Amino acid sequence: MAKNDSSFKVYKRRIIRIVYGIIEMCFHWLFGLVYGGKGKSMPPITDLLLLESATSIALKIRTKKITSSQVLQSFIDRINEVNPILNCVVAERFEEAKKEAQLVDDLIKSGVIPEEKLAQEKPFLGVPFTTKDCISIKGMLHSSGLVRRQNNIAAEDAKVVASLRNAGAIPIALTNVSELCMWWESANNVHGRSNNPYNTNHIVGGSSGGEGCAQAAAVSAFGIGSDIGGSIRMPSFFNGIFGHKPSPFVVPNHGQYPIPVTEEQNRFLGLGPMCRRAEDLLPLMKIITNQNGVTLRLDDPVDVKKLKWFYQETDTGSVMVSAVAGEIRELFSKIAKHLDKAHGVKATKVSYKRFSKSSPMWFANMKSPNGPKFQEQLANLDGSINPYMELLKWVFRQSEHTFIAIATCLLENGGIKHGDEKYDYLVNERNDLRRELLDLLGDDGVFLYPTHPTAAPYHNEPLIKPFNFSYTAVINVLGLPATHCPMGLDKNGLPIGVQVVSAEGNDRLCLAVARELEKAFGGWVPPAIKV
């Protein structure tokens, strides 16, 4: 009898996946009719400085080959050129940044501090950067895409921002997010919607979507994002850049809004670098981790030939999650062939069935025993919204909230409850999967896994495939570091890539693999260049 029940469940899952696949295909076709074509073209890069890494720019500033003021103006010009099309930058501090850049130029010109000392103490001196509108920069907007916070001004720098300032970097602008950072398309009623630089009819991801877009479009030298369910890695994937979600607690979460409700959520959240060039990941991590960088052994050399390489092409069949696109699955065999040919290394294909429960595991582990609820968060913790009333207002375009935010409120009270039998089961499944992966990885292993099952969907299409974020989200609740690595464009000209995962504390392995894959497959593909 038990065997028959098991067979029926497997059959039922297959039928659901088939039906869902048909529905998804139909809606994708419909969205294609609505958003058909390539959208607006992003202006080509004419200033070749924009193609350089932040590390290279910093070196040229220190050695007086260029000035910080020149660099800053190049990025300001680029923002003014592309932002009317992409809407990735939502607030700027250009005038303040110009004054800070001039101070940098005056300091370097004076020769008071030797170049070697500047390189050691101020490694990103004079380099402009951006961050998302949920990470505080003193004196700037700190709305997190919430209408009730549209006039909120940050009283202090987030600790990551303060660390970057201490390293000489100059914040120049804020980038767009989803409402309260809880969706994987960056659109809200404060700043509107951001558009993908490779095809403006497609999404940039979320919640660090504006930052992913900004880096792909080359509007700053590097950026900082935050990630509790894939919010660094998904936008990095959709926009073809590098992005790293660190090990838990090695980067301070201070200054990120909304504030995690539980210690578990605080552990899942990670602030990390987003950039076009892999060589910037390691030096940026050294800065934003402060003393934790020693714990992470970021200065220890990594020999990719001595790593143990593992990969898994799919989640083994989640219900209501898109199938992994063929071009993305092919990336794993390409990597395996490269490792074999270039280094004589054999990558091992694995299959962990528990990944099929990724979405339920994330939702269960994100549950809080005593709030605040999302409807209170949407009221900026001043009372609570009425989601039913807001839904009615939304129908008539009178709500200050996005549909997905309202829907999240309505769904929050249903499903798994903190501490119930299903909750305990999924927490235990998470713990078992974590043990399995840690046993696999040891201290010298890396695990390659899809960052997302498809390239960037059309605008609003995530509503039809809401659980596709599970490929990144599960890594958060497992408490493992992960780096998204871009690996070119698909047949439609949209970025694709993979994420690299290691055991907790072994971030340096992910970063080393990012450099290896960039060297082998090219990394970020810039938009058109006109010299």
SS3 at position 5? helix
For residues 30 and 67, membership in a common domain is answered with no
What average pLDDT does this structure show over 513-525?
Answer: 98
* 402, part of any domain: no
Domain span holding position 60: 37-367+416-521
Other CB atoms within a 10 A radius of the CB of residue 94 amount to: 15
- Measured between alpha carbons, how far is 365 from 476 in angstroms, rounded to an integer? 10
Per-residue pLDDT, 5: 61
The residue length of the chain stands at 531
Burial state string for 46-61 with b = 16 or more CB within 10 A and e = fewer than 16:
ebebbebbbbbbbbbb
Tell me the torsion sign for CA atoms 209, 212, 218, 220. positive
Query: Are 60 and 143 contained in the same domain?
Result: yes
| 240 in a structural domain | yes
Read off the pLDDT of residues 4-63 as tens digits, 9 standing for 90 and up: 666 777 778 888 889 999 999 999 999 999 997 778 878 899 999 999 999 999 999 999
In this structure, the answer to whether residues 66 and 92 fall within a common structural domain is yes
Q: Does 1 score more than 60 pLDDT?
A: no
pLDDT tier, 415 (very low <50, low <70, confident <90, very high otherwise): confident
Q: What is the pLDDT of residues 307-346, one digit of tens each?
A: 999 999 999 999 999 999 999 999 999 999 999 999 999 9
Which of 132, 367, 373, 465 does the annotation list as catalytic? 132
The answer as to whether 401 is a domain residue is no
207 is catalytic: yes
How many Å apart are CA 508 and CA 282, to the nearest integer? 7
**Residue 88 and residue 172 in one domain:** yes
Distance CA(475)–CA(484), nearest Å, equals: 12
Same domain, yes or no: 424 and 515: yes
285 and 274 Cβ atoms separated by less than 8 Å: no
Per the residue annotation, which of 53, 144, 207, 358 is the catalytic one? Answer: 207
Residue 57 lies in a domain: yes
- Is 138 catalytic? The answer is no
The residue annotated as part of the active site, out of 178, 220, 226, 231, is 231
Number of domains the chain contains: 2
The set of residues, in sequence order, having a beta carbon less than 8 Å from that of 484 and lying 6+ positions away, is 232, 233, 236, 237, 241, 242, 243, 244, 451, 497, 498, 499
Residue 23 CB partners (closer than 8 Å, separation 6+): 464
Confidence bin at 2 (pLDDT 50/70/90): low
Catalytic annotation present for 286: no
Token pair 């060297």: residue: 519
Distance, CA of 492 to CA of 289 (rounded, Å):
38
Residue 41 and residue 31 in one domain: no
Q: Are residues 29 and 68 in the same domain?
A: no
Backbone angles phi and psi of 7, in degrees to 5: -65, -40
88 and 184 belong to one structural domain: yes
Is there a contact between 187 and 211 (Cβ–Cβ < 8 Å)?
Answer: no
Question: 531 falls in which pLDDT band (50, 70, 90)?
Answer: low
User: Nearest 10 degrees: CA dihedral of 264, 266, 267, 272?
Assistant: 160
Identity (one letter) of the amino acid at 161? V
pTM metric for this prediction: 0.97
pLDDT in tens, 168-222: 999 999 999 999 999 999 999 999 999 999 999 999 999 999 999 999 999 999 9
The CATH number of the domain where 115 resides is what? Answer: 3.90.1300.10
| 138 and 5 in a common domain | no
Shared domain for 29 and 158, answered yes or no, is no
- Which tens digit of pLDDT belongs to each residue from 352-398? 999 999 999 999 999 999 889 999 999 999 999 999 999 999 999 99
What whole-number percentage of the chain has pLDDT above 90? Answer: 91
Does some domain include residue 122? yes
Q: What is the pLDDT of residue 386?
A: 97
Distance CA 138, CA 134 (A): 12
For residue 155, give the DSSP letter. S
Q: Is 382 part of a structural domain of the chain?
A: no
The answer as to whether 531 is a domain residue is no
For residue 290, what pLDDT is reported? 82
Mean pLDDT of the chain: 95
- Token pair listed for 304: 């990719």
List the helix and strand counts (H, then E) for the chain.
19, 13
Q: Same domain for 334 and 459?
A: yes
CB of 467 within 8 A of CB of 460?
no
In a domain? residue 400: no
487 lies in the same domain as 346: yes
> Given a cut of 80, is residue 120 above it in pLDDT?
yes
pLDDT of residue 9: 72
Tens-digit pLDDT profile for residues 78-103: 999 999 999 999 999 999 999 999 99
Give pLDDT, residue 4: 61
